[in-house]
Structure 1
Amino acid sequence: MSDQSAAVEADVIVVGAGPAGSATATYLARSGLDVALLEKSQFPREKVCGDGLTPRATRQLIKLGIDTSTQAGWLHNRGLRIYGGKQQPFHLDWPELADFPSYGLVRPRADFDDLLARNAVASGAKLYELANVTAPILDDRSDRIVGVTTKDGRIFRAPMVVAADGNSSRLSLAMGLSTRDDRPMGVAVRTYYTSPRTDDDYLESWLELWDGEPGQSNLLPGYGWIFGMGDGTSNVGLGILNTSSAFGKTDYRDLLRRWLANTPEEWGFRDANMTMPIRGAALPMGFNRQPHYTRGLVLVGDAGGMVNPFNGEGIAYAMESADVAAEAIAEAHYRGAGTAGAERALRAYPVRMKQSLGGYYTLGRIFVKLIARPEIMRICTTYGLPRRSLMRFTLKLLANLHDSTDGDASDKVINTLSRIAPAA
């Protein structure tokens, strides 16, 4: 173990330099705080993700000052193409709203995370790569976290620590915060194929996965996606929820291949065109780890189970939680770390997150229980997809894209439902 005198001192330690951690570090550094951003690996590094971003995530990138233009290397998308209930797909453009831009984005996750981490450094945060955090440092008197140690023996100390270390969040576990069994959990697998569909300007969602002719074969559990990457490849994957009877009992890689074997051969989704192995990751949903603040530790992103239960989107909510958390942490810092006033500021963070997303995530928990029943999913796709007005409402609901004020009737319905639902 390194000598105590060699410890790095900071105002805030952020553990994990994914979207949640890098966004938190960026906002804190811009507020004038000394931020140590710790990443266990080295950039650029790979993460399992769909690579497709909705307008909700696009808004967060704009807030971070990221240039999202095509000239800056981003592939724009116009909306969602939905397969389900019939052979011909259904196209829905992203809604025109005051609160969100009308375009989504695609970017490889390895490049995306590197860009956000460098943005944090440009804002003033100090990035420490290959800093694999192994344990918290606790104050003997208060039992509060006051720092962390790394696998190579380094010590980092700060009066406030942010856990942005993903779904497994070893730091949260070490602080006694386990995941909740009454919250949805998903598993996703994905890979890349060389494909002529690489320049697709729609994100594609498959609500029904068949292992043969649609409607004449076995309906597989889960949902699928296809995102053109604009570089000659497509990101293709599927997800399954723990509300499905097949969860934990399925070979997901084989499931992906069985679904894709039924897609047109000219699309290229065959093993011979695969550019990397099929990889999987967990999707922690609906605030599945709480509280989001305790004893000096703030949870953001996947560490706090921020993934949207409706659509499996996590990056937008990782960056949103970072924004709210950073505001509370900066307020606490300037009130005087360790004071009663600072503690009140930090405790406001989970309250604000529940006010913002708690009711909506409760609706999402109901939704995932319903779609786990194949007969309900079949009814929804058969009778819902042909009705464009209903599908526009469904898109707004599932993607959480609606105006908070002065919206149309569908916006008001979603806002009302989210407000009256008990917070997750």
Structure 2
Amino acid sequence: MMYDAIVIGAGPSGSSVALALSGQGRAVAIVERSEFPRRKVCGEFMSAVNLDLLDKLGGGAVVRAKAGPEVKRVALFASGPSTDAGMPRAAGDAFGRALGRDVLDGILLDAARDAGADVFQPWRAAEITTDGDNAMVRIESKHVQGVLVAPVVIAAHGSWEQGRLPTNLPKTNAPHDLFGFKAHFTGAELDRDLMPLLAFPGGYGGMVWADRNRMSLSCCIRRDVSIRLREKGNASSAAQAVHAHILASCPRVASMIVNATLHGEWLAAGPMRPGIRPRFADDIFRVGNLAGESHPIIAEGISMALQSGWLLANELARFDRWDRAARIAVGRRYSKAWNRQFATRIRVAALLARLASHPMSAAAVNTFVSGFPNSLTLGARLTGKTKLLPIACD
């Protein structure tokens, strides 16, 4: 089957680039190995500029109808007294909101399907080959196989997915590897307009109200710290050990969820791969956290996923034919646009992650923030909460 573009992965990055390309009149195929709805380890917050982007792509109205309340304040919860400050306002919608990935991913994929994209789900991309003009993607579903052909292949399957594609990242096994955990709670005491950063030894996290009165608590912790906590506390699972560690390290969190009910099970994933990677290599474009990944401490994962898909589609729109020369040119332009949009926030996030997770520096940060609460507002601005996207080319 022949297409203009094949997108591997139907998360926010894959669906956003498929929506944008379909809006340009391109024939798009999306290959997604998981059935929806699915739960994902994710902070679930979207800054306000992404709601404007979703309006352009066609999913904004549904997201607005289902998302949690506006997040108007940001806070720091650590070992000492908590501090909060105002979230910076953005153009359009003044404040960001959160929506569970089990809801958001389905909304975006339905919008892409309605826009004309062909969706292969649950199908797995097993192999990618190229003859210079077109790529052939072999896909599998149970005992059935097929081949999709297109000049453009876009990998949006995420940095955690394992496989034999040239875009799958190698496994790592180092003590400092970060693993992510996420759970939903109902009946929590968190203020509805507040999104606190949680700082604790060996990791960091955040809380925010999402859809259906669910409060999302997500966090990252080092592999060696997680192992040590589990052995010390004789916990039955890593998630149980991490949960107890957060409650012991952040008194405000303990007071807010002591009477709350866990909604579903804890999820775990990783290791995280913070850093900047090639956005175009092996004649394949990368979007989402395959292109580059920020430390989740700044809650910009969904933002970077949605926006990277938009940036790539914007550069592809400059060419009528996507031959090899055009793809190389797009790769250069997309990489530069991606750097302008995300490089600063990735570097700031790396610094904040080191400060928040180290016991000595975390205490100093807590003292500083207590004296200068507006540093939280400045930090939110520096990490991209109000940064606009470039205007689409004609």
TM-score by length of 1: 0.77
- Encode CA deviations 1:152-209: one digit per residue, 9 max, x unaligned: 31211111111001113456x5226646989x964221212231437722222222x3
Confirm whether residue 320 of structure 1 aligns to residue 313 of structure 2: no
Aligned-partner SS, 1:148: strand
1:42 alignment partner, one of 23, 35, 45: 35
Unaligned residue ranges in structure 1 (runs of 5+):
1-7, 210-219, 406-424
Match of 2:65 in 1: 72
Shift of 1:301: 0.3
Contact 2:298–2:380 (CA<8 Å) still a contact in 1?
Answer: no
Shift of 1:323: 0.7
Confirm whether residue 357 of structure 1 aligns to residue 326 of structure 2: no
Aligned-partner SS, 1:75: coil
- Encode CA deviations 1:315-365: one digit per residue, 9 max, x unaligned: 100111101111233334x1x232424431233212221233234423443
Confirm whether residue 286 of structure 1 aligns to residue 275 of structure 2: yes
Confirm whether residue 82 of structure 1 aligns to residue 76 of structure 2: yes
Give the AA of the match of 1:279. L
Change (3 A) 1:131 1:185: same
Change (3 A) 1:248 1:305: farther
Shift of 1:268: 4.3
Change (3 A) 1:97 1:266: closer
Contact 2:34–2:121 (CA<8 Å) still a contact in 1?
Answer: yes
Contact 2:32–2:121 (CA<8 Å) still a contact in 1?
Answer: yes
Select between 382-391 and 130-139 the one with higher mean Cα deviation.
382-391
Looking at structure 2, the residues matched to 404 and 72 of structure 1 have their Cα atoms a distance apart, in angstroms, of: 23
Change (3 A) 1:269 1:69: farther
Confirm whether residue 331 of structure 1 aligns to residue 318 of structure 2: yes
Aligned-partner SS, 1:284: coil
Match of 2:120 in 1: 128
- The aligned runs of 1:89-100 (5 Å cut-off) are 89-98=82-91
Confirm whether residue 175 of structure 1 aligns to residue 166 of structure 2: yes
1:378 alignment partner, one of 345, 359, 363: 363
- Encode CA deviations 1:66-89: one digit per residue, 9 max, x unaligned: 3358972222222323223633x3
1:229 alignment partner, one of 192, 210, 216: 210
- The aligned runs of 1:4-403 (5 Å cut-off) are 8-67=1-60, 72-77=65-70, 78-84=72-78, 86-87=80-81, 89-98=82-91, 101-139=93-131, 142=132, 145-151=135-141, 152-170=144-162, 174-175=165-166, 178=169, 186-197=178-189, 200-207=192-199, 209=200, 220-229=201-210, 231-240=212-221, 246=225, 251=230, 252-253=238-239, 254-260=241-247, 267-269=256-258, 273-282=261-270, 283-287=272-276, 290-308=277-295, 311-332=298-319, 334=320, 336-397=321-382, 399-402=383-386
Change (3 A) 1:368 1:45: closer
Change (3 A) 1:112 1:41: same
Select between 128-137 and 358-367 the one with higher mean Cα deviation.
358-367
Give the AA of the match of 2:379. T
Match of 1:416 in 2: none
Aligned-partner SS, 1:274: strand
Change (3 A) 1:360 1:224: closer
Give the AA of the match of 2:204. Y
Q: What count of residue pairs does the alignment treat as equivalent? A: 373
Change (3 A) 1:248 1:68: farther
Looking at structure 2, the residues matched to 294 and 355 of structure 1 have their Cα atoms a distance apart, in angstroms, of: 19
- Encode CA deviations 1:25-72: one digit per residue, 9 max, x unaligned: 000000111000111122222222222323344343233233358972
Change (3 A) 1:318 1:179: farther
Contact 1:15–1:38 (CA<8 Å) still a contact in 2?
Answer: yes
Looking at structure 1, the residues matched to 206 and 353 of structure 2 have their Cα atoms a distance apart, in angstroms, of: 17
Contact 1:45–1:110 (CA<8 Å) still a contact in 2?
Answer: yes
Structure possessing the higher relative contact order (Cα contacts under 8 Å, 6 or more residues apart): 2
TM-score by length of 2: 0.82
Contact 1:193–1:269 (CA<8 Å) still a contact in 2?
Answer: no
Which is greater in Rg?
1
Change (3 A) 1:349 1:179: farther
Change (3 A) 1:45 1:74: same
Identity %: 20
Change (3 A) 1:305 1:281: farther
